[in-house]
Amino acid sequence: MNYLADSNRYADMVYNRCGNSGLKLPAISLGLWHNFGGVDSFENGRAMLRRAFDLGITHFDLANNYGPPPGSAEVMFGEMLNQDFKGYRDEMVISTKAGYHMWDGPYGEWGSKKYLISSLDQSLKRMGLDYVDIFYSHRFDPDTPLEETMAALDQIVRQGKALYIGISSYDSEQTTKAVEILNRLGTPLLIHQPSYSMLNRWIEEDGLQEVLTRNGVGSIAFCPLEQGLLTNKYLKEIPKDSRASKETGFLNKDRVTEDVITKVKQLNELAENRGQNITQMALAWVLREGRVTSALIGASRVSQIEENVKALNNLKFTNEELASIDRILNS
């Protein structure tokens, strides 16, 4: 059966302007880091993508190494685009990245012009696209001049292979320099993708948020749920099918401590008083004050996407609620 998108898909989603640009992103974006690789169910991924789009999620975030195996998430996404979304391409914001290890030899990772441009060419072939909407430098390269990395991003835009460019996980000092270089080149930085959650507030401590605001750069927070820690999944024990039990990615058993679980339980009680669950409150908290353009979620099933989008039903916090959250986190 051919897919026909929900005619009311834009009715309830919140769209935020990305920095000083003309681009708006949905407050909730879908990342394909997990559960869209070659080892995963194509039909489950397809169902999640369809449901996300029907709920107004227009932004889909990938990277060259997403899978496993590396590259397979882009292949799967390309097949889904071809089968279901050909007529909706101009309604979608598609992003990908390069920076982490992708192939053997001296040119298969980090931030050289050789690697970044070669990687994007490969990504476009895997997805069957002429261009992506956003292309990211996935991580800062300490051994390549920042001028070279930024020049590669500028060249990619001028070649028409990406409409906008972004950076991910750069600190405030690195970001300031990147902004200055890109402004000189005439291709402004659109967006920064840092990790950010109630349990991971480094962008506040580092001053990155102020740098982005001052320079009119948008932001999209990855891991806003801390790989599932800020859900009800770990309130009793570590489930056998959870990321912590598999010890893949950033989350392992050592992080699921008694102290963390105690805090999550207290946060969950506060969320319930707001008419939300801990997941929804955690997403709303990241989006508070409008300083973060979009929260980037992952999902393993359709119901998780539906649950996460409901966070938008209550994005406001009282001063007392924010103070209570800080008190819990600092206890």
Q: Which domains does the chain have, with CATH numbers?
A: 15-232+290-315 (3.20.20.100)
If you search the block for the tokens 């990147």, which residue do you land on?
A: 178
Partners of 136 in the β-ladder = 97, 166
Q: Which helix (H) or strand (E) holds 294?
A: strand 294-297
3-state secondary structure of 219: strand
Structure tokens belonging to residue 227: 């790989």
pTM (global) more than 0.85: yes
| Measured distance CA(168)–CA(73) in Å, rounded | 19
Question: Which structure tokens are listed for 113?
Answer: 């012009």
Q: Which residues, 6 or more positions from 325, have their beta carbon under 8 angstroms from its beta carbon?
A: 198, 267, 270, 285, 317
What tens-digit pLDDT sequence spans the chain (331 residues)?
689 999 999 999 999 999 999 999 999 999 999 999 999 999 999 999 999 999 999 999 999 999 999 999 999 999 999 999 999 999 999 999 999 999 999 999 999 999 999 999 999 999 999 999 999 999 999 999 999 999 999 999 999 999 999 999 999 999 999 999 999 999 999 999 999 999 999 999 999 999 999 999 999 999 999 999 999 887 765 555 555 444 555 555 667 788 999 999 999 999 999 999 999 999 999 999 999 999 999 999 999 999 999 999 999 999 999 999 999 999 8
192 and 25 in contact (C-beta within 8 Å)?
Answer: no
Helices vs strands, H then E, count in the chain: 12, 10
Tokens of 67: 């899978």
Contact between 232 and 277 (Cβ < 8 Å): yes
